[in-house]
């Protein structure tokens, strides 16, 4: 199933055919005998936890791709979302929130951000406009300052912020980053056309990097695991917010309904009992909630076979992190 990606309630081939509107050659897009130069590039979305990066990505794409929750540090891995409109293709890279590099999982998350910045053609620093100026890690701030005009600051939650709050953050961005600020709202969609236009002019002239009908690069297994983890966070945010990980062990797409077996890892036996619940009531509730999301993803009925397992201190073990699919930096061994 790794050759497919999720697109709303559908599943599309990862390598689809060229779109019917025309064909690509060099950085020109031929449509009805009319030549249009195309732009394409990678756009890194970075920011502190709960700034709304994933919500902004989902709104820009017009569909849910990155999981969201009220729990900070929900995004742990880079998620690519492809937005192709007209003559421009924006490949968004949703990165984990900028956290202090404590245990190895946090180091892995910081490593993902560090990898995304130099590879990005444009960088969007997402800031919660309702809060104070962001306290960015010094190395991240230096990296943004070095990129200069490649950076755009998105003042998210502008529908909730006051004018003074947005002015304060915009002034900080101009002074400390040397970047323009744009007021946006992932909730209402306000300001997103302006943000998109500012991103487009920062992208190089280039052929599209992916077929125009693709929206993601990760496999369906990845998104299934993320939807299950999102459901855990929605139900047990206080009990197991950061100790949970999900891995899809089996995916039988040929069966009816589609059979999916997944392991939910926690760090303590007490957390396992919380997720399972008395007489299995909690795990049944979790399964029903996650199945509804997964069925919308794959476009048909599925059977979720969920197993809760204790894996002590998995967030601090580099080998276990790699087994979970997390990218670790060379310094964590």
Q: Which fold has domain 220-332?
A: GMP Synthetase; Chain A, domain 3 (3.30.300)
Give CA–CA dist 282/292, Å, rounded.
16
Lowest-confidence range among 46-55, 109-118, 177-186, 324-333? 324-333
Lowest-confidence range among 30-34, 119-123, 319-323? 30-34
Lowest-confidence range among 190-199, 215-224, 264-273, 302-311? 215-224
Q: Which residues of 39-73 are buried (b: 16+ CB within 10 A; e: fewer)?
A: bbbbbbbbbbbbbbbbbbbbbbbeebbbbbbebeb
More confident residue, 315 or 270: 270
Has this prediction a pTM greater than 0.85?
Answer: no
Query: Could you read off the pLDDT of 269-285 as tens digits, one per residue?
Result: 999 999 999 999 999 99
Considering just the CA atoms, what is the radius of gyration of the chain in Å?
A: 21
What pLDDT shows up at residue 101?
A: 58
> Domain boundaries in the chain?
4-15+22-200, 220-332
Q: How far is CA 27 from the centre of its chain?
A: 28
Query: Could you read off the pLDDT of 279-307 as tens digits, one per residue?
Result: 999 999 999 999 999 999 999 999 999 99
* 98 pLDDT higher than 80: no
Q: Please identify which residue in the block is written with the tokens 């909630």.
A: 289
pLDDT level of residue 5 (50, 70, 90 thresholds):
very low
Instruction: Name the architecture of domain 4-15+22-200.
Output: 3-Layer(aba) Sandwich (3.40)
With the CA atoms of 151, 63, 162 and 100 taken in that order, what torsion angle do they form, in degrees rounded to the nearest 10?
A: -60
Give CA–CA dist 90/183, Å, rounded.
20
């Amino acid at each position: 199933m790794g050759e497919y990606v999720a697109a709303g309630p559908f599943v599309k081939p990862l390598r689809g055919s060229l779109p019917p509107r025309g064909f690509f050659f060099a950085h020109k897009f031929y449509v009805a005998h009319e030549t249009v130069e195309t732009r394409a590039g990678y756009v890194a979305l970075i920011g502190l936890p709960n700034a709304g990066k994933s919500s902004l990505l989902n709104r820009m794409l017009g569909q849910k791709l990155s999981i969201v929750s009220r729990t900070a540090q929900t995004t742990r891995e880079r998620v690519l979302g492809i937005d192709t409109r007209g003559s421009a293709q924006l490949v968004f890279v949703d990165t984990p929130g900028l956290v202090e590099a404590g245990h190895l999982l946090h180091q892995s998350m910081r490593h993902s951000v560090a990898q995304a910045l130099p590879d990005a053609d444009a960088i969007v620093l997402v800031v919660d406009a309702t809060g104070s100026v962001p306290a960015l890690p010094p190395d991240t701030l230096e990296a943004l300052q070095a990129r200069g005009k490649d950076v755009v600051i998105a003042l998210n939650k502008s529908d909730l912020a006051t004018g003074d709050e947005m002015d304060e953050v915009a002034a900080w961005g101009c002074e400390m980053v040397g970047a323009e600020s744009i007021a946006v709202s992932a909730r209402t969609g306000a300001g997103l056309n302006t943000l998109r236009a500012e991103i487009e002019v920062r992208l190089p002239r280039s052929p599209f990097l992916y077929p125009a009908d693709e929206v993601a690069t990760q496999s369906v297994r990845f998104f299934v695991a993320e939807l299950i983890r999102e459901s855990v966070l929605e139900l047990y945010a206080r009990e197991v917010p950061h100790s949970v990980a999900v891995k899809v062990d089996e995916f039988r797409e040929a069966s009816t309904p589609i059979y999916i077996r997944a392991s939910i890892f926690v760090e303590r036996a007490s957390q396992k009992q919380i997720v399972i619940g008395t007489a299995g009531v909690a795990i049944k509730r979790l399964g029903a909630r996650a199945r509804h999301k997964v069925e919308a993803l794959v476009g048909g009925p599925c059977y979720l076979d969920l197993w809760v397992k204790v894996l002590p201190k998995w967030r601090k073990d580099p080998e276990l992190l790699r087994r979970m699919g997390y990218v670790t930096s060379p310094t964590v061994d």
